[in-house]
Structure 1
């Protein structure tokens, strides 16, 4: 079925030019190894990515994909393969470096901000993969993220909501240090305690806890911490992230990477992200 008109989530020509080399190289490498995951073998990679962005943006189940996209089994197969082989992580890093250079920054960051978000889960998420965040009284999962000073994703780890921010911070710092060796500074909230601070010091990262003014009762922007909180706000424009719908936590991490790819690619091409405020 030929599409009458594009969906708002579809990639523009300019955005596809940013992503196409990575996907084309991936397909060429699979061919070289004698591998392919589609039937027929030649599915249009742009249409596949459009379908994945449609799910991420609208929040629909994979089986409910409109029929003008490739079959949902094919789309999910590519999504799973790209997640497993690190393609979404690779694209996020590439686009982040382009944005930083466009903003007059060094391509590689030297500082980061850490935070966590507890989120409710859907009925298909196994009970064993969930937990309760006693402080926020939320049963579900927790998204631990680290961002640079522009709010662009550096690392993500999805766990049961019962996992402490401290444990998440230790994992994030290890991932950030391994992928971004120039990072020497991190800012956190008070949920990150001695173990995370000591682990950062071991990695050569100075972890500073930014505290809220105890005398302030009304809302007030907290230095440094507002950057990562804004990133969570950006992510929530994607309905697939309003809850955690993914059976496996590593698939949840991929959905977050896809949302950031969507946001960063629009930022590079100066295209707006439509939301309810624009209606």
Structure 2
């Protein structure tokens, strides 16, 4: 895991440049814009404090919003996930996914899609993600923290229809009946069986679910995600996708070394 932002190498850019063929900035290159957005994701600063070596922050922000609304940012992480799976000898589409959520505080001035998670005593938002068996993110949803895990998880389901091999979800008991019935509409099964606690062995990672917790841990290295600073929760989803896309691009570069 890199400790600071590093611009994309030529090798890394080859994986995602096709997404920008029909949506190129007129004055600056798509690569410059994407690097600038990734810098914001890593550094966590305000748009106005964007490093001066990048294009003007207004231009960068404009393309961030444009690419977020068009779904391009989410498309990139899905494509990278498929590529990384193939690099590891797996099929592009996963057959099993783990789902979980993370409640997080919000920055000042955030008033919409915000609530109190009574269990975790957090006033903010809830990040729900679906990951494959190795922790790669394939879908993300951000809503108010007081939204039940099962209901929030339902928002992930329509985003997963492109994975033709998908059969099974694993989640904790909070994903119970509501989520299971929603998944069943798509022909998917949900397993919320939990391992009983063991006094002899201490904490026992739950089979095929611990990866999602590790993924949340990886995301913590991106300062933009230390809190939810976004007025629009769709921007929050985009920054989560950007963070993990950077993680995969780093890994793909390491395969080449």
TM range (shorter): over 0.9
Distance 1:145 1:137, change over 3 A: same
Q: CA RMSD in A?
A: 1.6
Contact 2:43 2:223 in 1 (8 A): yes
Equivalent position of 1:8 in the other structure: 5
Question: Is the counterpart of residue 51 in structure 1 residue 28 in structure 2?
Answer: no
Normalized against structure 2, the TM-score is what? 0.92
Question: Is the counterpart of residue 80 in structure 1 residue 68 in structure 2?
Answer: no
Q: Distance in 1 between matches of 2:234 and 2:33?
A: 20
Q: Distance in 1 between matches of 2:224 and 2:51?
A: 16
Equivalent position of 2:56 in the other structure: 71
Aligned residues: 251
Structure 1 residues 98-121: Cα deviation after superposition (integer angstroms, max 9, x where no partner): 111111111111111100000000
Structure 1 residues 82-130: Cα deviation after superposition (integer angstroms, max 9, x where no partner): 11111111111111111111111111111111000000000032x2321
Normalized against structure 1, the TM-score is what? 0.85
Equivalent position of 2:181 in the other structure: 198
- What are structure 1's unaligned runs of at least 5 residues? 1-6, 28-37, 272-279
Three-state SS of the structure 1 residue aligned to 2:173 is coil
Q: Distance in 2 between matches of 1:72 and 1:124?
A: 21
Deviation at 1:20, TM superposition (A): 1.7
Q: Distance in 1 between matches of 2:153 and 2:98?
A: 10
Deviation at 1:25, TM superposition (A): 3.5
Equivalent position of 1:248 in the other structure: 232
Question: Is the counterpart of residue 23 in structure 1 residue 6 in structure 2?
Answer: no
Greater Cα shift, 178-187 or 110-119: 178-187
